[in-house]
Amino acid sequence: MSVDKDTVRRIARLARLKLEEDRVEPMVQELNGILAWVEQLKEVDVEGVPPMTSVVKQRLKMREDVVTEPDNADALMANAPGGEDHFFVVPKVVE
């Protein structure tokens, strides 16, 4: 399988990565280089093999459904670009 320009534009959109038009063709080449190389996995018969879901045999732990973090809105906002009064700021999304 390989990707074309439209597919690259589509996945860039899905990944929310702006790809300038002149970068589309080089990215097609780069991704196809990698995809051609992983193609060798098709040689292996994986019929009946369970997909790995956990590398270490363990049951995921459950915890009490209680609040463990203190009220720290200041800390949460400390790195927000353009944050104001404990609100994250984004461009207008509703008309």
Partner 1 sequence: MSGLTDLTLAEARDAVAAKKVSSSELTEAFLKAMEAARSLNAFITETPERAFEMAAASDKRIAAGNARPLEGLPLAIKDLYCTKGVRTTAGSKILHNYVPQYESTVSQNLWDNGAVMLGKANLDEFAMGSSNETSYFGPCISPWRAKGSDAKLVPGGSSGGSACAVSANLCLGATATDTGGSIRTPAAVTGTTGIKPTYGRCSRWGIVAFASSLDQAGPISHTVRDCAIMLKAMASVDPKDSTSVDLPVPDYEAGLEAGVKGLRIGIPKEYRVEGTSPEIDAIWNKGADWLKAQGAEIVEVSLPHTKYALPTYYIVAPAEASSNLARYDGVRYGHRAEGIEDLIDLYQKSRAEGFGSEVRRRILIGTYVLSAGYYDAYYLRAQKLRSLIARDFTEAFKQCDMLLTPATPGPAFAIGEKISDPVTMYLYDVFTVTVNLAGLPSLVLPAGLTESGLPLGLQFIGKAFDEATLLRAGRALEVAAQFTAKPQPWWRAP
How big is the site for partner 1, counted in residues (CB under 8 A)?
Answer: 52
58 counts as binding partner 1 under rule CB under 8 A: yes
Quote the CA–CA distance of 50 and 29 in Å, as a whole number: 33
Question: Which residues, numbered 21-50, are part of the site for partner 1 (CB under 8 A)?
Answer: 27, 30-31, 33-35, 37-38, 40-42, 44, 46, 49-50
Contact flag: residue 7 with partner 1 (CB under 8 A):
yes
Q: Residue 25 and residue 29: Cα distance in Å, rounded?
A: 7
CA-based radius of gyration for the chain: 23
For residue 94, the minimal CB distance to partner 1 (Å) is 11
